[in-house]
Amino acid sequence: MRAEYREEPCRSALNRVRGMPFAWSLNPYMGCAHRCMFCYVRAFEARAERPWDDLYGSSIRVKTNVAEVLRRELARPSWKREAVAIGAATDPYQPAEGRYRLTRACIEALGAAASPFSIITRGPLIVRDVDVLAEAACRADVSVTFSVPTLDDEIWHGTEPGTSPPRQRLRALSRLVEAGIDARVGMAPILPGLSDRPELLADVVREARAAGATGIWANLLYLRPGTREHFLGALERDWPELLPRYEQLYRRGAYLPRRETEPVRERVRALARNHGVRDRRPRRLEPAAIAEQLEIAAM
């Protein structure tokens, strides 16, 4: 499915967030060509009467002036350099970024303002921006999380149809770690009965360790109305034997009960310990040395 790109200037770049580990979010794009069947943003799109079902990802809104607006917001005296999460609602390194380079411009703005930020992505295109990420990491805390729920080809193809292969994401992670950037793996969302199988969890943790991941965490599927209908329909088509289980698991709401989530999270934590994946933040990068210009004495 080809996406339509709609260039729409924005009035604000930073969005205040409550109840999350970060204070602000930033999304240079709205709508996502990755079209993940479990994406919680489908629910917001449905409420706004925008494409959310099979047409989700067919229309991408491009905030053409987002970096300019961000620079103004960061320059305000009231800005306290709180943590900013890039990609909370749409992947900042989806294909549109190759053309528009808005995420790169926002990283440059945050780096210049010495504001801490994190990025979550499924897009290996991020390796293009190693230079500006490293420069920003000299001034503030910078971290990148690659979403890698599974390495299984069937599950990946069926649930993340517009994304790059998971192992390609891990190769990109390795490039960032080599540059001294804090790059970790988020195993999210793990799907009950599919990607929560012990051998599949172990595959991700083992290859994340081999890529040099600085940490690893896991979350299970969150199904809110709007996303739920699409996900269950896709499940009925591709894995019909699992449909009754999901209807039972999510009968009381979007979140799974702790008795379902904690054993999987503990399994991932144990795998991380066994494979030596320790939560380790690289030391702050040092700015590149400025070469001195030598004066050549006149003969």
**Which of 18-32, 98-112, 256-270, 283-297 has the weakest average pLDDT?**
283-297
SS3 for 103-117 is HHHHHHHHHHCCCCE
Tally the residues of the chain. 299
pLDDT for 296 equals 34
- Assign residue 69 a region (left: φ > 0; alpha: ψ between -120 and 50; beta: otherwise): alpha
| Dihedral sign computed on CA atoms, order 105, 106, 111, 112 | positive
- 157-171: per-residue pLDDT in tens? 999 999 999 999 999
**Which of 93-107, 117-131, 139-153, 278-292 has the weakest average pLDDT?**
278-292
pLDDT band of residue 102 (cuts 50, 70, 90) is: very high
**Where in the chain are the domains?**
1-140
The highest-confidence range among 49-58, 135-144, 280-289, by mean pLDDT, is 135-144
* CA nearest to 103, candidates 83, 128, 138: 128
| Residue 146 near residue 107, CB atoms below 8 Å | no
Mean pLDDT of the 115-138 span: 98
Close Cβ partners of 99 (under 8 Å, ≥ 6 residues apart):
5
Q: At which residue do the structure tokens 């494409």 appear?
A: 51
Structure tokens at 31: 């709508």
- Please provide the average confidence, as pLDDT, over all residues in the chain: 91
| Residue bearing the bigger pLDDT, 19 or 12 | 12
Q: How many CB atoms lie within 10 A of CB 101?
A: 15
Cα 196 versus chain centre, distance: 20
Beta bridge partners of 6: 61
Mean pLDDT of the 232-251 span: 95
SS3 for 114-173 is CCCEEEEECCHHHHHHHHHHHHHHCCCCEEEEEECCCCCHHHHHHHCCCCCCHHHHHHHH
What is the C-alpha to C-alpha distance for residues 278 and 45, in angstroms, rounded to an integer? 37
Kindly tell me if the per-residue pLDDT of 270 is higher than 50.
yes
